[in-house]
Homo-oligomer: A and B are copies of this chain.
Amino acid sequence: MMKQDIFQAIADPTRRAILTLLAIQALTPNAMAEKFDMTRQAVSKHIKVLYECELIKPEQSGREIYYHFNAKKMQEFDHWLSQFRQNWETQFNQLDQLLTTIKEQK
């Protein structure tokens, strides 16, 4: 498992749109293909990428497969991003200080 890179997975705009859709409700591959102007097979390949990095989960229902958004996996991004969070808070505090200093000089 984890054949695919989660960063690579969200790099594609179509896959991001799929994730946004699935975050609202689970859908079958056919239903997704109808939403985008794309063949079913093309969507199917995106699904494979998203599935392999565990961003979505399949739920078999007869011959249909409903794909669900896996929120837990999305948190990996959040974790990666957190290394910068300290940094941007600092940069903004510095900006705040600068603005305050300018104000006081007036």
In the bound complex, how far is the Cα of B94 from the Cα of A16, in angstroms? 24
Q: Using Cβ atoms and an 8 Å threshold, which residues of chain B touch A75?
A: 88
Judge if A38 is at the interface, Cβ distance under 8 Å.
no
Which of the 9-residue segments A28-36, A59-67, A76-84 touches chain B?
Answer: A76-84
Contact A71 B87 (CB under 8 A): yes
Judge if A51 is at the interface, Cβ distance under 8 Å.
no
Contacts A77-B81, A78-B81, A78-B85 aside, 20 further interface pairs with beta carbons under 8 A come to A7-B16, A11-B11, A16-B80, A23-B83, A23-B84, A23-B87, A69-B84, A69-B87, A71-B84, A71-B87, A71-B90, A71-B91, A71-B92, A72-B91, A72-B92, A74-B81, A74-B84, A74-B88, A75-B88, A81-B81
16 A–B contact pairs at CB < 8 A? A5-B13, A7-B11, A7-B13, A7-B16, A8-B11, A11-B11, A20-B83, A23-B83, A23-B87, A71-B87, A72-B88, A72-B91, A74-B81, A75-B88, A77-B77, A78-B85
